[in-house]
Amino acid sequence: MNPSHIMLTGILILSLCISIALCGNALDVKNQLLLVPYPKKVEAKFDSTDTIEVTSALSFTVGDNCDDKCKEFLTDNFNHTITTGLKRQEGLSDFRISLFKQIDLPRPTLNIKGTIASVTIELTGGNKALFFNGEVFPVFKIGVDESYVLTVQTDKIIITAPTVYGARHAFETLFQLIRISEDKKFVISQLPITITDEPRFKWRGLMVDPSRNVLSPSIFKKIIDSLASVKANVMHIHLSDGQTFVFETKEYPELSKKAMYDQSKVLTQDFVKELVAYGAKRGVLVYGEVDVPGHTASWNLGYPGVVADSWAAIVERNANYGENVPCLNPANELTWKLLASVLKEVGETFGDYVHVGGDEVRTRAWYESKEYEDIKKWMADNKIDNLEDLEHHFNNVAQKHVIDNGKTPIVWEEVYSHQFADKKSIIHVWFDPRLIKLAVDDGYKVIISAGYYLDRQMPLCVSYDKENTCMNTHSMWVWTNRDMYSYDPVKSFTEEELQNVLGGEGCSWGESVDEQNFFDRVFQRYSAIAERLWSDKSITDPNSHEVRASYLRCLDLRRGLFVGTGPLYHSYCEYKTD
C-alpha cells in the first residue's frame, strides 16, 4: 500500500471512530421531527410545550367532492395507518434511544391544550392535478399528484391535498408525529406544526425477485404495506429467471407448472390482479418483469427446445450461476410465439409497464449450444450477421411487442449501452451510473438502481472504480445503509436533465433471501433509499436519518409491518406480538 493510501485509510478509520461515537442520539435530530422520509418543508415550534392529545378513536371528515369510492379509499387507509397503528400502541411506552438522559430523545414538559377528536381533510384537485382532469381520486399512475400540507394546531388537525394519494401520505406523516407520553397518552407536541410536502421523484420503488428463492403470495401485500409506510409507490416483481418461472400464463401454462418447485407459490393471474388492485389502494403501482433473451433457462422445462442447449459448456466450465447463461433459441418457431404471448399476458395482467430485461446476455451461449448450426441458418435466413445483432433482434422484438400492446417497455442498461433501446423504452440503470446522464441526454427516461442493491454488502463498490468507491464504503452490514443514503448520482443535474429522471428502485435480488430473512434484508436499509427518492437533495445527514429510521422501524413493528427487521443501532422499542 502506498503512503497516500495509508493516509486515506487512517482518515477513514478516524472518521469511522468519530461517527460511531456520536451517531444514534438525540443530538442528531435537534430541531427536527422524527419523520421518514423527511418532508420538503417543516415548520414547528421546537421549544414549545404546547401539546394536543389524540386517542385511537381519532376520526376524519372530508368534503362533498369526495364520493363514496373516495371515502372508502380514505377510510381504509386511515384505519390501516392511524386507527390500527394507535390501537396496537395502547399501553406501550415511547421509543427510546438511550438510558442516558443527555443523549436520549428529550421528554419535554407537556402543556396539553385539549383533545382532538377528528382530522379535517380538504381535497382540492387544483392545477397540479389537471393531467388527471382535476379529479381528487384519479386512477393511480406514475405522475399523479402526491403532495399534501399537514397542519397541527392546538385546536385542529387539517390535511390539504389535491388527491387522495397525497392525503394517504399525510396519514403516514401524522402517525409518525404522534408520540406516547410518560403517562401513556397519545400526544403531538412542539405546536404549531405545518408540513408542506411532495416527492422529489415520481418513481420510488423496490424490485422483488421471487424467481430465485420463492416467496408465498401472501407476503407481497405485506411488502406493499411496508413500501407505503415510507411513501414508496412502485413494486417491481422479477417474474422469471434461469431458476424458475413464477408467473402463470394461460396460453402456455407449462411454463409455471414445470418451472416451479411448489405450485402454491405460483403468482396466478387472478392473484396478480388482486395484488395490483391492493397496490392501488395503497398508492403503489405493481408491475412485472420477464427477462429475455438471457436468464431464460427455466422456460425450457415447460417447452423443451425454446432455449438453446448450452449446458455442456456451462458444466465443463463449472460456471457460477450457470442457470443464468442459456438464451432463448431463435431457430425454434415456438420461441417467438411464446415470447409474444407471455409479454402480452404480463401487460394485460399487471398494467402500464412491462420490464423485458435484456441484461447480462452471454452471446457465447448461442455459439456453444447444440443448436448453433440451426441458429446460424436462421440468422442467415433473417439477414442477421452476428450474435450481437441476434441479441439486438431479441431486444427489438420484445420492446415492440410491449409497445404494440399499448404498454411502456422498461429495459436494463445493457440494452441502451449496446444501442438496442427503443426511444419509447425506459432505461433501468443498475450498474454504471455514468450511463444515467448519457441516457438522459439522449432523450430517454431513466430509473436508477445503481448504488441501491440491497443484496450487496458494499453497494457502491464497482469493478471499474474499485480504488475510489471501495475505499469510501462501509464494511459493517447495517452501515451500508449510510452508503445508499449518501448516494445521489443526479444531485448536480439541471432541472431540465432531471425531467427525464423518473426516480429509482432498490433491488432485492433473491439468491440469498426468502421469507425467513426478506424484511430484515430489505427494510432494515430500504428507508435510506426511500428518503433519497422522496426528500429534497439537501437532506443528507446520515446520523439524523439513522435515528429517524430507527423510530420508524419501531412504529412499523407496532403496526405489524417490518416484522423480522433488525435495528440500525442500539435503541429500545416496546411492541406487542401477534
The DSSP line for 376-411 is HHHHHHTT--SHHHHHHHHHHHHHHHHHHTT-EEEE
Residue written as cell 428529550? 106
Environment class of 289 (CB within 10 Å of its CB; exposed 0-12, middle 13-18, buried 19+):
buried
At residue 354, φ and ψ (nearest 5 deg) are -135, 120
Short-list 307, 322, 410, 305, CA closest to 360: 322
Residue 576 and residue 88: Cα distance in Å, rounded? 7
360, 497, 515, 574: the catalytic one is: 360
Residue 494 has, within 13 A of its CA and on its CB side, a CA count of 4
Residue 50 · residue 154 · CB < 8 Å:
yes
Active site residue 251: no
Residue 75 and residue 60: Cα distance in Å, rounded? 8
3-class SS letters over 88-154: CCCCCCCCECCCCCCCCCCCCCCEEEEECCEEEEEECCCHHHHHHCCCCCCCCCCCCCCCEEEEEEC
Residue 143 and residue 279: Cα distance in Å, rounded? 16
For residue 577, count other CB atoms closer than 10 A to its CB.
6
Alpha-carbon Rg of the chain, whole angstroms?
25
Residue written as cell 417543516? 42
Residue written as cell 457460477? 320
The region that residue 85 occupies, defined by phi over 0 for left and psi between -120 and 50 for alpha, beta otherwise, is: alpha
The residues facing 241 across adjacent strands are none
Residue 441 and residue 424: Cα distance in Å, rounded? 15
Residue 248 and residue 242: Cα distance in Å, rounded? 16
3-state secondary structure of 6: helix
Residue 285 and residue 140: Cα distance in Å, rounded? 7
Active site residue ranges: 360
